[in-house]
Amino acid sequence: MSVIDRKYIKHIYLKISKKIKDFLLSEKSREFLIFLFFFLIAAGFWLLQTLNNDYEAEYSIPVRLKDVPNNVVLTSEPPSELRIRVKDKGTVLLNYMLGKSFFPVSLSFADYKGRGNHVRIYATEFERKILSQLSASSRLLSIKPDTLDYIYSTGKSKRVPVRFQGEVSAGAQYYVSDTLYKPDSVLVYAPKNILDTITTAFTQRMAYENISDTIRNQVALAYVKGAKFVPGAIELTFPVDIYTEKTVEVPLRGVNFPAGKVLRTFPSKVTVTFQVGLKRFRRIKASDFVINVSYEELLKLGSDKYTVKLKAIPHGVNQVRFTPEEVDFLIEQIPVPDEY
């Protein structure tokens, strides 16, 4: 910034400061500040007078059903909240709105166990829990809904494996090496006719795309009507590894050859190049690959060239290439020892 610019900014600042100072010291400024003072006092009195009147307001209170046994399956749950309408002075209602949070209306499953499988709880039974949270001056006008109800069944149980439901893909040069569940199985409770149809606990459908690092998430199990999974969520882990390239030499072996005949290939070994994750790099050996050439297959070729094909590929290996892709071969006759 140049010296001229600095002088200009300083000049503007001093000019504005002088105008503000002159205004505050002027007669008009004193009149304005006096007016503002009395206006604020009047507004305060008006607000207090207004809040001293009676008003009606609506609030929500959470509902919680607790102590539900594991073998109990809720086929219809109670509503998650109650809407209450309250009448009181504005100051009290403002306190409910700004400063007071209502505690949940807790219903203990054991308290209503003897009422059959369709439990109905009327407002008269939980109204006291609401009133205990209101001021003595407050009047409770209404509760909606005025009846809490739920339906349940008592189910048998069995253990089923957990399986991922969704799509997962790794970024370029990466791959998902495994899918890990913790726990890998859960208990499922349900009436017998439903329990017999459940063989697997699936996760909620998820999608992970182009991941390049290990993912670990808490995932809920998919809802099955009339059934209950314990636990209802599991820890899902996708370990991610990076691909690297490796080369091994694998021999070609003749199989099902009759006595006196052997396979000769040129070359006798092929170079196998493949991609494998860093974690498996040292564990993958040439012996993990199998190139078996059957006698019957060669007889059907009608030529002396064989296109290399793998009979076994280790888990976690892909992008397999051969050098050469074709080999020359011949079926050699060898002497058979005499049998005594």
**243-331, CATH topology level:** RNA Polymerase Alpha Subunit; Chain A, domain 2 (2.170.120)
Instruction: Report the range of poorest mean pLDDT among 158-167, 171-180, 200-209.
Output: 171-180
Tokens of 130: 């609401």
Report the pLDDT value the prediction gives residue 47, as an integer from 0 to 100. Answer: 57
Report the pLDDT value the prediction gives residue 275, as an integer from 0 to 100. Answer: 86
The dihedral built from the CA positions of residue 313, 316, 317 and 318, taken in this order, carries a sign that is: positive
Given a cut of 80, is residue 122 above it in pLDDT? yes
Tell me if 177 sits within 8 A of 283, measured CB to CB: no
pTM: 0.58
| Tens-place pLDDT, residues 288-304 | 888 888 888 888 887 88
Distances (CA, A) of 207 to 39, 166, 169, 237, 313: 60, 6, 9, 13, 29
**What whole-number distance in Å separates Cα of residue 226 and Cα of residue 194?**
7
CA-nearest of 312, 340, 329 to 261 is: 329
- What CATH superfamily classification does 155-237 receive? YbbR-like domain (2.170.120.40)
Report the pLDDT value the prediction gives residue 20, as an integer from 0 to 100. Answer: 66
| Tens-place pLDDT, residues 96-108 | 877 667 889 998 9
Segment 299-321 shows an average pLDDT of 83
**What whole-number distance in Å separates Cα of residue 59 and Cα of residue 81?**
10
Domain ranges of the chain: 53-153, 155-237, 243-331
Confidence at 310, pLDDT banded by 50, 70, 90? confident
| Tens-place pLDDT, residues 26-65 | 666 666 666 666 666 765 655 565 556 788 888 889 999 9
Phi, psi (deg, nearest 5) at residue 282:
-75, -25
| Tens-place pLDDT, residues 224-236 | 888 899 999 999 9
243-331 and 53-153 share a CATH fold? yes
Given a cut of 70, is residue 6 above it in pLDDT? no
Report the pLDDT value the prediction gives residue 162, as an integer from 0 to 100. Answer: 96
Report the pLDDT value the prediction gives residue 219, as an integer from 0 to 100. Answer: 95
**What whole-number distance in Å separates Cα of residue 239 and Cα of residue 211?**
10
| Tens-place pLDDT, residues 124-171 | 888 888 888 888 888 899 999 999 998 888 888 899 999 999 999 888
| Tens-place pLDDT, residues 15-27 | 777 666 665 566 6
CATH of 53-153, one of 2.170.120.30, 3.40.50.300, 3.55.10.10, 2.40.50.100: 2.170.120.30
Report the pLDDT value the prediction gives residue 340, as an integer from 0 to 100. Answer: 47
